[in-house]
Amino acid sequence: MSEISARTSPPTPPGPLGARVSIRLQIPGESGYHDLLGHLELGNLVRRKDGTTTNFDPAHIVAWRQVPISPTKSGNAFDIESLEKIAQQNWMPEKIEEIGQWQLRSNKGFSFRANSTLPLGGKGFGDPGIELNQAISQVIDFYSELKQPAIFQILPSIHQDLERSIKALGFRSKGEVRFETMRINSPFISDLKDLQLLTSDYPNDDWFALHGDDEIAAELMLRTPSKYLHLYEQSQLVATARAAFTADWAGIARVRVKQEKQGQGLGRKITLATLNEINNNGLEHAFLQVETENVNALALYHSVGFSLHHYLNYSVLEN
């Protein structure tokens, strides 16, 4: 393997969790080497492109390297853009303006997704329909008039050229996000003993209190037909989730466990309950977004069947 970092002591695989890595292992008592290629999960597990996983002992690592994400092929680029359009409908901003196929979204500052430009239209720069620098200037002016920072939602496997261009102008990524998908093949068994599950078309006052949501957040969520799951323990709301329905997909968001109740398995219970609610509504495809650094959430979502579809980041103009 070229460009492999070798060390005399066992190296720690590169991070963050979710990075695509090539790992070379030497198993005691076996001749030769074993090579793994895939996305790093849980620190000692690699998920291959076909979805299969392999555990490894970090003590057996003799070399590793982080592998850049390959540019997406045009067919996959179309699939990514199609899912991003569905995700936008699941989290519909108050206002959308267009520059060519670019979508300039605003929602009074609530959330990156609803207040960023999504550059649709294919690989490279998308299709703004005008000269690139002029289009970027219009994006900056659009958000400046709203007294908001200019933000691009970048899809790295598609927008490599655009990402380089805006970085030169002072845009900086606020962290890597994973867009995860799964197919729900059958209902899940969810043990809700001593818990009460309330499912409704609207979030209740307890929901808003737990999230600290305001009227702006409520207006955004209620623009899309959704189910809101409230998990109670002895009349106290301990966990929430939202499933929003668009076309043949359901988007899961707002999964939250009350801080003092975290680490008790409630995140798994509310996630399984949400997947069952999606299944009960006749859908079998679900997606969600999770920050790559959120190790615990990633472990949970992968344990129930989610896997990476594509990466994204939100790049904010800082000067």
CB 14 within 8 A of CB 66: yes
- DSSP 8-state secondary structure symbol assigned to residue 158: T
How close are the terminal C-alpha atoms of the chain, in Å? 41
Q: What is the pLDDT of residue 60?
A: 86
- Secondary structure E strands in the chain: 5-6, 20-25, 34-41, 45-47, 53-55, 61-66, 95-99, 102-106, 117-119, 151-154, 171-183, 196-200, 226-233, 236-246, 249-257, 285-291, 307-317
With H, G, I as helix, E, B as strand and everything else as coil, classify residue 221.
helix
Tens-digit pLDDT profile for the chain (319 aa)? 333 333 334 445 555 556 667 888 888 888 778 888 877 766 778 876 555 778 888 888 888 877 654 444 434 888 999 999 999 999 999 999 999 999 999 999 999 999 999 999 999 999 999 999 999 999 999 999 999 999 999 999 999 999 999 999 999 999 999 999 999 988 898 889 899 999 999 999 999 999 999 999 999 999 999 999 999 999 999 999 999 999 899 999 999 999 999 999 999 999 999 999 999 999 999 999 999 999 899 999 999 999 999 999 999 999 7
CB 4 within 8 A of CB 27: no
Residue identified by tokens 């009227």 is 215
Q: What is the pTM of this model?
A: 0.77
